[in-house]
Structure 1
Amino acid sequence: MTARTTVLDSDVRAAMQALSAAAKKGLGDPALAELVQIRASQLNHCAFCLDLHLTIARRHGVSERQLDLLDAWEEAGEVFDERERAALALTEAVTVLAGGTSRTKSGGGFVPDEVYEKAAQHFDEGRLAHLVALITVINNWNRLMVSRRIPAGSTRW
């Protein structure tokens, strides 16, 4: 596959990289940050981001077993702890945004209350804000790469 375009404004790239770095730093858990980014990239079918973040995850000590089972994390038993499971559920809810535009009387809608509340049990308010920011920024990266068809391993993007 060849890229449709490799043009990306340098100011946009720098802003996105800064947002990514700030979100990761604020989350304070590099291995979890990579699991979250990989899971969103799986859902968005972004080969470029998968390739990149799988490599980084290994550097941060994420086990091959976790990487192998990430696509089926809900059925993977004790491979993922409760904190990781809460972060992955939130990743899926923010990435997929199921539920359309309707709101439930409980205040739900796009991201179900129970998913957000479960994450809030495992992350303080600041880390939860950084987790949501990280999920948001990887989704933006995925869209930038997929829409332009940037292939895995590309050095021009």
Structure 2
Amino acid sequence: MTARTRLLDPAVGRAMSALSKVAKQGLGDPALAELVVLRASQLNHCAFCLDMHLAIAREYGVNERQLDLLAAWEEAEDVFDERERAALALTEAVTVLTAGFVPDEVYEQAAKHFDEVRLAHLIGLIVAINNWNRVMVSRRIPPGGYTP
């Protein structure tokens, strides 16, 4: 399998990077941002983004237990606090959209933990990583290409 490197125009990449940067900064919690992007990347099976964001998460001090149990966060109640759990639930709802929409209870739970501006940035971050995951998976970019 080879990388399909010509699927992303540089201008599109810059725009996607700008969205990611603004959303992460606006969320104001880099460790939580990395948990969110990692969970979406798990759901989207994006090995490149998982590899990259695991390294970044460690740089921001996300603990290994959270990284180890992220895929089962719903069952790991003592590992993730309520705010993290609300963000992860919203991440799954926006990423998967199995019901065709984000359930009200998931959105309302997130809104309890994030003010309107931070919630908008959280949703922007989820949208941004889903875009990146789809681009990287479409291009078949293998893990290992990220260097901090």
Other-structure match for 1:12: 12
Contact 1:3/1:149 (CA < 8 Å) preserved in 2? yes
One-letter code aligned to 1:42:
Q
Q: Distance in 2 between matches of 1:5 and 1:14?
A: 16
Is residue 148 of structure 2 the alignment partner of residue 152 of structure 1?
A: no
Unaligned runs of 5+ in 1: 101-109
The secondary structure found in structure 1 opposite 2:78 is: helix
Aligned-pair Cα RMSD in Å:
1.1
SS in 1 for 2:73: helix
Q: Deviations over 1:17-74 (max 9, x none)?
A: 1110000000000000000000000000000000000000000000000000000000
Once the two structures are superposed, residues 76-114 of structure 1 have per-residue CA deviations (whole angstroms, 9 ceiling, x without a partner) of 0210000000000000000001113xxxxxxxxx10000
- Tell me how far apart the structure 2 counterparts of residues 51 and 78 of structure 1 sit (CA, whole Å): 25
* Mapped pair 1:129 → 2:120: yes
Equivalent position SS for 2:5: coil
The TM-score with structure 1 as length reference comes to 0.90
Cα deviation, residue 8, structure 1: 2.1
Counterpart residue number, 1:89: 89
CA distance in 1, matches of 2:24, 2:134: 19
Task: For 1:31, give the aligned amino acid.
Answer: A
Contact 1:83 1:122 in 2 (8 A): yes
- Residue 7 of structure 1 deviates from its aligned partner by 4.6
Structure 2: gaps (5+ residues): none
Larger Cα Rg: Structure 1 or Structure 2? Answer: 1
**Could you tell me how far 1:4 is from its partner in structure 2?**
2.6
1:27 corresponds to 2:27:
yes
Aligned amino acid, residue 146 of structure 1:
V
After superposing on structure 2, the runs of 4+ consecutive aligned residues of structure 1 that deviate more than 3 Å are none
Identity of aligned residues (%): 77
Tell me if structure 2 keeps the 8 A contact 1:6–1:150. Answer: no
Q: TM-score, normalised by structure 2?
A: 0.95
**Count of residues paired in the alignment:** 146
C-alpha separation between the residues in 2 aligned to 1:6 and 1:66?
35
